[in-house]
Structure 1
């Protein structure tokens, strides 16, 4: 696929996917969703970490309501089932770490696209807003799943009902995101974070993601069993042997992701 609504680049194990419709604040249309899905699927086999960010002053303003049809004629159920669900599942199930580098405003489905990543790093000038009720809708694109787990029921309900805009610092304080970084340091910071993961033990990261995600549905006994099984596999990996040798030899490990 030749990308037009996004840009895609790989450098030193990091796949950078940039939402690239800055004239409409990177609003999500059918083409962008298809390209994002293709890029994420491709990056899983080409990179050791994926970063999703935005071009211009916004991360993503959400659904493009002018995407070839009037809002009154938009079949939202079809769009969610056929376009959003495959994209969000690709992010959620991705075997390598996914970072959302939120450079600016993240609104509606754009906010929830960001929250679907494993780690959210935001510029301190970024804002988040569940804007759905402003146009007579409810949060979608995974928002009703992520928000209660990240910020608690009361705050999730308030965000959904009032559609208030919150700052990156507030999102950090509430546990919605991992880091809020000064704008002047933002680009270099997320790149350093991505490089750290790209040079890390990819098989261990995959196990971390699986264990934490399955913990929502497991009881303690099932989770302990899962931990034992996954740790047993990791104990046989090249990266574990390399990590132990590096520790004993007092040097930096050279992980290979196997």
Structure 2
């Protein structure tokens, strides 16, 4: 096991396990996003890596951007997306090896987008999923605008985005958001078992199949990411976003009747 600060890595039997460790809810700091980008870049180059498992340490998978960290940087939203999240999503999708998200708890905001970008999703019975962005007056990013309707349909994707109501693992399975649900206590073992089966498979053929599906279904991925960054920049300048962030920091419901 390699300790990379907020990202722990372990390579065994051809399976590279990436575990987020940024308590209490595995929010994404700029440093952690950079570590994830580097990990997927290295996985692409390392022929001993045949499958990647992405999971969260503690009680959550990933609840999205670390707002405190982001506000301290004073970085425009579009610039932030183009240098951090967009390369990460493209890196996951372009990695010609299976990527399995083992969702152990809440996946929200950018955390949901990252889970959606993975090839397969194994959910703990305690997992929950929510788009999350509307709470702070923003729009879905990390390719959620493309990946979410591709998995569950446009109507459900819009309803889920507008309602901002978390769905549980069984609902996610029924909608097609996840592939399998297992008991919470068995998640890690089942993820390793599934990843081991994938690692023993024809990696090159899997990679070519992934390229085919990317082209057939996600051919406009880069364009979608760029457009999300454009819209996020617009949303970030609205009174709704300012109220959403203020309410979040003050731990109260937002008042968007501005």
Q: TM-score, normalised by structure 2?
A: 0.80
Which residue does 1:209 correspond to in 2?
Answer: 210
Conserved? CA contact 1:60–1:111, under 8 Å = yes
Determine whether 1:65 maps to 2:99.
Answer: no
| 3-state SS of 1:208 partner | helix
CA displacement 1:63-103 (0-9 Å, x = unmatched): 100005259x5521111111111111100100111001111
| 3-state SS of paired residue (1:177) | coil
Separation in 2, partners of 1:2, 1:217: 34
Please tell me whether the aligned partners of residues 30 and 70 of structure 2 are also in contact (alpha carbons under 8 angstroms).
no
User: Conserved in 1, the CA contact under 8 Å of 2:29 and 2:70?
Assistant: no
Q: TM-score, normalised by structure 1?
A: 0.80
User: In the comparison of the two structures, how many residue pairs are matched?
Assistant: 216
Give the superposed CA RMSD: 1.7
1:204: Cα distance to partner? 1.2
Matching residue of 1:165:
166
Distance 1:198 1:78 in 2: 36
| d(CA) in 2 for partners of 1:70, 1:167 | 33
Contact 1:22 1:57 in 2 (8 A): no
Partner of 1:82: 83
Q: Which has the higher contact order (CA 8 A, sep 6+)?
A: 2
Residue 49 of structure 1 contacts residue 194 of structure 1 at CA under 8 Å; is this kept in 2? yes
Q: Which has the larger radius of gyration?
A: 1
Moved over 6 A (4+): none
Alignment of structure 1 residues 237-256 onto 2, 5 Å: none
1:18 aligns with 2:19: yes
Q: Distance in 1 between matches of 2:75 and 2:163?
A: 24
